[in-house]
Structure 1
Amino acid sequence: MVSVLESLSLPGALAFLVSVTATWSNYVSNIVPDAYLDEFFHVPQAKKYCEGDYSWDPKITTPPGL
Structure 2
Amino acid sequence: MCNECGATAALAVPVASGPEETVPICFADGTVFDGICDHCGQAVHYAFPEAQLCETCRDNAYAHF
TM-score for the superposition, normalised by structure 2: 0.25
Rg (Cα) greater in structure: 1
TM-score for the superposition, normalised by structure 1: 0.25
Q: Which structure has more helix as a fraction of its residues?
A: 1
Q: Which structure has more strand as a fraction of its residues?
A: 2
